[in-house]
């Protein structure tokens, strides 16, 4: 850690205020070039404490930058991790107010829901599949608080990995009945295909993202508790949306989920 607790709290307030007021800011590493990974997660944890103090509930966890496309683009080998609060939930087929967000983008993700705790080190894909109750389709709405989505890894971790909204739906499936590497996804905006891909785009197998989250938490003395919803990371590039846009995700053998920006 290179930041003191007062600085961590001030950065959390700055980033969360931007989230709540739909304003952007410059990346925080411009002011704190020496901040390290622990500092970045400490700011994210401080944002979580601010929300919990206001009565929010954590409804899930997420892995980000897990697709080969995004990892190459950012030049990284380890994904980043964040939390999902109840205020992020959009009901399946529901509406998301664009004016509440800064410059939202949507991305298709395979969602895992666990039935047993998972903790690293050494968590494997097999353990993740054994501990998964079901998988289902999800659309994550990311909305970096940084101007023009321009950030570095520590800035984006502090900003809770651009988390903003998400919707899940479709048909819950036992992952043992599926080959998630070959699961095809087609995302449409206003009836036009805007992104397509397969599960293997996420770390070779999307369960790998969940295993890496368990290893990350295990290294910090934590775990993925039983009954946790985990967004395993965007399979394709994220797609910008405007008010009026309807986004529909089709996921092979798992049905559809959608939302409309108003």
Cβ distance to ligand OOG smaller for residue 68 or 221: 68
Contact of 163 with 173, CB cutoff 8 Å: no
Cβ distance to ligand OOG smaller for residue 142 or 248: 142
Candidates 15, 46, 47, 65: give the one binding ligand OOG (CB under 6 A). Answer: 65
Please tell me the distance from the alpha carbon of residue 209 to that of residue 199, in angstroms, as a whole number.
11
Site for ligand OOG in 134-153 (CB under 6 A): 140, 142, 144, 149
Strands (DSSP E) contained in the chain are: 58-64, 80-85, 95-96, 105-114, 132-142, 163-168, 184-189, 192-198, 229-231, 239-240, 246-251, 255-261
**Phi and psi torsions of 244, nearest 5°:** 95, -15
> Please, what is the minimum distance in Å from the beta carbon of residue 171 to ligand OOG?
22
Residues contacting residue 108 through CB under 8 Å, at least 6 positions apart: 137, 138, 139, 185, 187, 195, 197, 234, 235, 236, 249, 251
Give the sign of the dihedral formed by CA 22, CA 145, CA 58, CA 95.
Answer: positive
Please tell me the distance from the alpha carbon of residue 12 to that of residue 83, in angstroms, as a whole number.
14
Three-state secondary structure call for residue 40: helix
Candidates 64, 108, 170, 199: give the one binding ligand OOG (CB under 6 A). Answer: 64
Candidates 161, 207, 229, 230: give the one binding ligand OOG (CB under 6 A). Answer: 161
Cβ distance to ligand OOG smaller for residue 39 or 140: 140
Candidates 140, 143, 159, 245: give the one binding Mg ion (CB under 5 A). Answer: 140
> Please, what is the minimum distance in Å from the beta carbon of residue 142 to Mg ion?
6
> Please, what is the minimum distance in Å from the beta carbon of residue 211 to Mg ion?
17
> Please, what is the minimum distance in Å from the beta carbon of residue 214 to ligand OOG?
17
Piece of 1-9, 136-144, 189-197, 214-222 that binds Mg ion (CB under 5 A): 136-144
Question: What number of chain residues touch ligand OOG (CB under 6 A)?
Answer: 14
∠102-106-110 over CA atoms, to 5°?
A: 140
Q: Which one of ligand OOG, Mg ion, none interacts with residue 161, CB within 5 to 8 A by kind?
A: ligand OOG
> Please, what is the minimum distance in Å from the beta carbon of residue 7 to Mg ion?
28
Please tell me the distance from the alpha carbon of residue 6 to that of residue 25, in angstroms, as a whole number.
19
Q: Which one of ligand OOG, Mg ion, none interacts with residue 213, CB within 5 to 8 A by kind?
A: none
Pull the structure tokens for residue 209. Answer: 């993202």
Strands (DSSP E) contained in 121-207 are: 132-142, 163-168, 184-189, 192-198
106: nearest Cα among 254, 231, 253: 231
137: contact with Mg ion by CB under 5 A: no
234: contact with ligand OOG by CB under 6 A: yes
- Contact residues for ligand OOG (CB under 6 A)? 64-66, 70, 107, 140, 142, 144, 149, 156, 161-162, 233-234
Binding site for Mg ion (CB under 5 A): 64, 140, 234
């Amino acid at each position: 850690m290179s930041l003191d607790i007062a600085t961590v709290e001030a950065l959390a307030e700055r980033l969360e205020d931007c989230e709540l007021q739909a304003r952007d800011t410059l990346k925080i590493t411009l002011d704190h070039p020496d901040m390290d990974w622990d500092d970045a997660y400490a700011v994210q944890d401080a944002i979580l404490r601010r929300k919990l103090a206001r009565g929010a509930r954590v409804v899930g966890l997420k892995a980000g930058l897990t697709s080969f496309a995004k990892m190459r683009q950012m030049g990284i080998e380890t994904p980043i991790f964040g939390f999902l609060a109840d205020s992020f939930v959009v009901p399946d087929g529901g509406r998301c107010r664009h004016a509440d967000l800064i410059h939202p983008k949507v991305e298709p993700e395979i969602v895992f829901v666990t039935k047993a705790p998972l903790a690293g080190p050494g968590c494997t894909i097999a353990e993740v599949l054994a501990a998964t109750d079901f998988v289902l389709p999800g659309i994550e709405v990311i909305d970096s608080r940084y101007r023009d989505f321009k950030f570095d890894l520590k800035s984006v971790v502090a900003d809770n990995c651009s988390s903003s909204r998400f919707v899940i739906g479709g048909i819950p499936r036992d992952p043992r009945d599926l080959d998630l590497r070959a699961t095809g996804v087609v995302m449409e905006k206003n009836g036009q295909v805007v992104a397509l891909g397969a599960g293997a785009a996420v770390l070779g197998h999307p369960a790998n993202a969940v295993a890496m989250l368990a290893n990350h938490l295990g290294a910090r003395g934590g775990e993925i508790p039983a009954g946790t919803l985990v967004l395993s990371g965007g399979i394709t590039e994220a797609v910008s949306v405007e008010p009026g846009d309807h986004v529909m995700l089709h996921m092979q053998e798992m049905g559809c989920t959608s939302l409309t920006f108003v």
